[in-house]
Chain A
Amino acid sequence: MNKQRGLEARWATLTTLVVVFLGLAAGAYASDSEDPAPGRAMAQQAVKERAHWTTTDHSQLAALQKDFCSGDAITAACLSCHSDAGEQFKQTIHWTWIGDTSADGKQYGKAGDSLNNFCISTNRMNDQSCADCHPGWKGKEAGINCLNCHSQKKVNWSEAFEDYTAFSQSNDPEEKELAQEIQKEIRSAAQSIGRPTRQNCGECHFKGGGGDGVKHGDLDSSLAKPNRILDVHMGLDGQDFKCTRCHTTVNHNVAGRIYSKPAFTERKSLIQDDLTAKISCESCHGNTPHQKGDKANDHTDKVACQSCHIPEFARVLPTKMSWDWSQAGKLKDGKPYKEKGPEGTIDYMSIKGAFTWQKNVRPEYAWFNGSMQTMTVKDTIDPSKTVAVSAPTGSPDDPHSRIFPFKVHRGKQPYDKVNKNFVAPLLSGPDGYWTTLDWKRSISKGMGFMEVPYSGEFDFVPTTYHFPTTHMVAPKENVVSCVQCHVRQGGRLADIAGVYMPGRDRSKPLDLLGWVAILGALIGVGIHGLGRVFTTGRRKE
Chain B
Amino acid sequence: MSKKMINIYLYTRYERFWHWLQAVSIILLLLSGFEVHGVYTLFGFQTAVTMHNFVGLAWLIAFAFFVFWIFTTGEWRQYIPTTKKLLSVIRYYSYGIFRGEAHPVPKRIDAKHNPLQRLTYLGLAAFLLPFQMVTGFLYWGYNSWASWGLSGLSLRVIGVLHTLGAFSILTFLVIHVYMTTTGHSLLAHIRAMISGWEEVSEDTPIEAWEQARSKRSTT
- Where the two chains meet, the residues of A that have a C-beta atom closer than 8 Å to any C-beta of B are 2-3, 7, 10, 13-14, 17-18, 21, 24-25, 28-29, 295, 297-298, 301, 481-483, 486-488, 499-500, 502-507, 510-511, 513-515, 517-518, 521-522, 524-525, 528-529, 531-532, 535-536, 539
B195 lies within 8 A of chain A by Cβ: yes
Report A-chain residues with C-beta under 8 Å of the C-beta of B45: 481-483, 486, 503
Give residues of chain B (78-94) contacting chain A, Cβ–Cβ below 8 Å.
93
In the assembly, what is the distance between CA of A295 and CA of B159, in Å? 17
Residue of A nearest to B54 (CB): A25
Contact B13 A518 (CB under 8 A): no
Contact B46 A503 (CB under 8 A): no
Contact A14 B99 (CB under 8 A): no
In the assembly, what is the distance between CA of A18 and CA of B21, in Å? 8
Report A-chain residues with C-beta under 8 Å of the C-beta of B50: 29, 295
Residue of A nearest to B197 (CB): A3
Subset of 11 A-B contacts with CB under 8 Å: A10-B195, A13-B13, A14-B20, A482-B49, A505-B159, A506-B163, A510-B164, A511-B163, A514-B167, A521-B171, A532-B182
B2 lies within 8 A of chain A by Cβ: no
Residue of B nearest to A11 (CB): B194
Contact of A539 among B54, B100, B178 (CB under 8 A): B100
B217 lies within 8 A of chain A by Cβ: yes
Q: Identify the 7 closest CB pairs spanning chains A and B, nearest first.
A: A514-B167, A525-B178, A535-B98, A500-B156, A482-B45, A521-B174, A503-B38
B67 lies within 8 A of chain A by Cβ: no
Contact A298 B54 (CB under 8 A): no
Contact A295 B171 (CB under 8 A): no
In the assembly, what is the distance between CA of A87 and CA of B128, in Å? 71
- The answer to whether A524 and B38 touch (CB under 8 A), given A500-B156, A507-B160, is no
B204 lies within 8 A of chain A by Cβ: no
Report B-chain residues with C-beta under 8 Å of the C-beta of A24: 58
Q: Within the complex, what minimum Cβ distance (angstroms) separates B127 from chain A?
A: 17
Contact A10 B178 (CB under 8 A): no
Contact A500 B159 (CB under 8 A): yes
B97 lies within 8 A of chain A by Cβ: yes
Contact of A518 among B93, B164, B174 (CB under 8 A): B174
Contact A3 B217 (CB under 8 A): yes
Q: Report the count of interface residues on B (CB-CB < 8 A).
A: 45
B181 lies within 8 A of chain A by Cβ: yes
Report A-chain residues with C-beta under 8 Å of the C-beta of B154: 500
Contact B170 A28 (CB under 8 A): no
Contact of B17 among A14, A505, A535, A536 (CB under 8 A): A14
Give how many A-B residue pairs fall within 8 Å (CB-CB).
110
Contact B167 A510 (CB under 8 A): yes
Q: Within the complex, what minimum Cβ distance (angstroms) separates B206 from chain A?
A: 18
Q: Within the complex, what minimum Cβ distance (angstroms) separates B91 from chain A?
A: 14
Residue of A nearest to B93 (CB): A528
- The answer to whether A517 and B38 touch (CB under 8 A), given A298-B143, A500-B156, is no
Interface of chain A, main secondary structure:
helix
In the assembly, what is the distance between CA of A525 and CA of B173, in Å? 11
In the assembly, what is the distance between CA of A295 and CA of B139, in Å? 13
- The answer to whether A17 and B17 touch (CB under 8 A), given A503-B45, A514-B167, A532-B98, is yes
Q: Within the complex, what minimum Cβ distance (angstroms) separates B17 from chain A?
A: 6
In the assembly, what is the distance between CA of A518 and CA of B93, in Å? 19
In the assembly, what is the distance between CA of A500 and CA of B160, in Å? 10
Residue of B nearest to A295 (CB): B49
Report A-chain residues with C-beta under 8 Å of the C-beta of B8: none
In the assembly, what is the distance between CA of A28 and CA of B93, in Å? 46
Contact B178 A529 (CB under 8 A): yes
Contact A506 B171 (CB under 8 A): no
In the assembly, what is the distance between CA of A524 and CA of B179, in Å? 12
B64 lies within 8 A of chain A by Cβ: no
B5 lies within 8 A of chain A by Cβ: no
In the assembly, what is the distance between CA of A481 and CA of B45, in Å? 9
Contact of A525 among B54, B97, B160, B175 (CB under 8 A): B175
- The answer to whether A502 and B98 touch (CB under 8 A), given A481-B46, A521-B174, is no
B36 lies within 8 A of chain A by Cβ: yes
Contact A525 B174 (CB under 8 A): yes
Report B-chain residues with C-beta under 8 Å of the C-beta of A536: 100
Contact A535 B46 (CB under 8 A): no
Chain A proximity mask over B154-190: 1 for CB below 8 Å, otherwise 0: 1110011001101110110011001001100000000
Contact A531 B98 (CB under 8 A): yes
Report B-chain residues with C-beta under 8 Å of the C-beta of A513: 167
Contact of B38 among A7, A295, A504 (CB under 8 A): A504
- The answer to whether A503 and B37 touch (CB under 8 A), given A482-B45, A531-B98, is yes
Q: Within the complex, what minimum Cβ distance (angstroms) separates A420 from chain B?
A: 40
In the assembly, what is the distance between CA of A483 and CA of B49, in Å? 11
Chain A proximity mask over B52-71: 1 for CB below 8 Å, otherwise 0: 01100010000000000000
B142 lies within 8 A of chain A by Cβ: yes
In the assembly, what is the distance between CA of A507 and CA of B156, in Å? 9
Contact of A502 among B36, B167, B217 (CB under 8 A): B36
Contact A532 B156 (CB under 8 A): no
Report B-chain residues with C-beta under 8 Å of the C-beta of A503: 36-38, 45
Given contacts A481-B45, A486-B36, 17 further A-B contacts (CB under 8 A): A14-B16, A24-B58, A28-B54, A295-B49, A298-B142, A483-B41, A486-B45, A488-B38, A499-B155, A503-B45, A507-B163, A510-B163, A514-B170, A514-B171, A517-B167, A518-B170, A532-B182
Report B-chain residues with C-beta under 8 Å of the C-beta of A524: 175
Which of A528, A536, A539: most chain B CB closer than 10 A?
A528
Chain A proximity mask over B98-133: 1 for CB below 8 Å, otherwise 0: 111000000000000000000000000000000000
Report A-chain residues with C-beta under 8 Å of the C-beta of B168: 517
Contact B100 A522 (CB under 8 A): no
In the assembly, what is the distance between CA of A532 and CA of B29, in Å? 32
Contact B37 A506 (CB under 8 A): yes
Contact A2 B217 (CB under 8 A): yes
Report B-chain residues with C-beta under 8 Å of the C-beta of A7: 195
In the assembly, what is the distance between CA of A301 and CA of B24, in Å? 34
Contact A21 B46 (CB under 8 A): no
Contact B178 A535 (CB under 8 A): no
In the assembly, what is the distance between CA of A298 and CA of B170, in Å? 28
Report B-chain residues with C-beta under 8 Å of the C-beta of A13: 13, 17
In the assembly, what is the distance between CA of A17 and CA of B168, in Å? 28
Report A-chain residues with C-beta under 8 Å of the C-beta of B163: 506-507, 510-511, 514
Q: Within the complex, what minimum Cβ distance (angstroms) separates B125 from chain A?
A: 20
In the assembly, what is the distance between CA of A511 and CA of B156, in Å? 14
Chain A proximity mask over B11-41: 1 for CB below 8 Å, otherwise 0: 0010011001100100000000000111001
Report A-chain residues with C-beta under 8 Å of the C-beta of B182: 532
In the assembly, what is the distance between CA of A507 and CA of B174, in Å? 23
